Chain A
Amino acid sequence: MNVTRGFTGRPRVRNAALPPGQYDAGDDWPVLSAEVTPELTPAEWSLRIDGLVEEPRGWSWEEAHELPGSVYEGDIHCVTSWSKFGVRFGGVSLDAFLHMVRPHVSATHAVAYSHTGYTTSLPLADLTGGRAWIAWEYDGRPLAAEHGGPARLLVPHLYFWKSAKWIAGLRILDHDEPGFWEQNGYHARGNPWEEQRYRGD
């Protein structure tokens, strides 16, 4: 341990819900995106899933909203060290979309991409089993553009750079293909509980 002289840190209460190295951002919701926030209306938004699937297809805003709704209530964690407790997102479970395209048995990974061109790569297992959403509501209101509205991917059990804002599609693959931050030195999986921040963690 490399103790820093005179550093005590803030008085803190041990919080078992906080992954290592994270702090509670409280009411703040920092914005961290590398691109210009796109002005994308629901009418212009669409989602496409293709690659190693039986039936590649796309959904318009209306078509996506016809699927059964699903809510995530819980915490989110950003690699830049803030966590946010008790957030509530509304949308549709990604399982509902994947069920319709039927990934091949050989499928293992996905690249999620945004209407801006941002990409992030994920193991398929992290996107199934009720752990990922296409979300368009936050706290009962339409998701703000700077937070990824009209719709973003939501994978709350991984660092938030995996939850691609302005989600445009998923390409299903049989190998890992690093996305934007993954190519920039970030970890392939990004599990906050194991502090998988950067490649090599």
Chain B
Amino acid sequence: MTEAAETFTPPTRFAVPGRIAVSEQAAAVWQTATITQVRRETPHAATFRLAVPGWAGHLPGQHLMLRLTAEDGYVAQRHYSIASAPDDSGHIELTLDHVEGGEVSGWFHTVAEPGDTVEVRGPLSGFFAWPGDRPALLVGAGSGVVPLMSMVRHHRARGLDVPLRLLVSARGPEELIYAREYGAETTPVFTRRAPEGVPVGRMAAAHVAPLLAEQPPGGWEAYVCGSNGFAEHASRLLVAAGQPVHRIRIERFG
């Protein structure tokens, strides 16, 4: 065998999970999606339910590309994680933070209503996906909890018994997206304001240590999602607590 005929193997075990395939077809085609419902989550975040008749299905953790078109042909495209668990309802849900001065999130929060259409393409990227087959340690902040919630919902909907834990950071209880839906798997961390008796402060070693101490056999797959600053901080905490680097997947919202 010549060198060129061998399949190249990167020098570490950090690689695309071979068990997840991305559909070429789905990634390439723009589809019309109709907003069917808008649900307020927090003062700054809302969930938009979309009917996408041709949706090819997704895995928890995947995202899509969304585009809005102005009358003069100007187009704005942004990535959004899918918040809903995979199901066969013909609908998916997105949860958008209202970014100050934001072009796309601004339209969603001030103009969009049921009946409006947008275009989507996806699902994209199998890297951050969690098919539900391995113990998962989820760490998110702000709207970074969106793809992680898809995993939690999937876990529940399928009644999976593979271990799952969610560590979620928000400024205060009123800004905690999906607050009503969390169960025993979730530990919220409040950085500015907290209910009586709950400490205030950013995510620290003390939050991560117990989760790594009660590791399931074979260890955790860690999924970190949020702003870049948060992703850097949280991934370092995980490494310091003993989580192997090649088993930490990061999605940075910018």
Which residue numbers of A lie inside 8 Å of B, CB to CB? Answer: 1-10, 12, 20-21, 23, 30-38, 50-52, 80-82, 106, 111, 113-119, 146, 168-169, 171, 173-175, 177, 180-181, 183-185, 197-201
Contact = CB atoms under 8 A, between A and B. Distances in A.
A23 B128 CA distance: 25
B4 A175 contact: yes
B7 interface: yes
B52 to A, nearest CB: 14
Contacts, number: 153
18 contacts: A1-B69, A2-B69, A2-B117, A4-B70, A12-B74, A31-B254, A34-B249, A80-B254, A113-B8, A113-B10, A117-B10, A117-B14, A117-B246, A119-B10, A146-B228, A171-B8, A184-B16, A185-B27
B248 interface: yes
A30 B119 CA distance: 25
Given A3-B71, A23-B76, A198-B124, 10 more contacts: A4-B107, A30-B228, A32-B252, A111-B8, A146-B228, A175-B4, A181-B125, A185-B22, A198-B28, A198-B121
B19 interface: no
A159 to B, nearest CB: 13
Contacts of A169: 11
B74 A118 contact: no
B232 A35 contact: no
A35 B4 CA distance: 28
Nearest to B110: A6
A31 B226 CA distance: 12
Contacts of A35: 14, 245-246, 248-250
B14 A116 contact: yes
A33 B69 contact: no
Interface of B: 3-4, 7-8, 10-16, 22-25, 27-30, 32, 65, 68-71, 73-79, 103, 107, 111, 116-119, 121, 124-128, 228, 232, 235-236, 238-239, 245-246, 248-252, 254
A3 B69 contact: yes
A4 B124 contact: no
Contact of B103 (A9, A32, A52, A80): A9
B165 to A, nearest CB: 19
Contacts of A1: 69, 73
A33 B16 contact: no
A54 B75 CA distance: 48
B75 to A, nearest CB: 6
Nearest to B71: A3
A3 B70 contact: yes
Nearest to A4: B68
A36 B248 contact: yes
Contacts of A8: 70-71, 74
Nearest to A184: B125
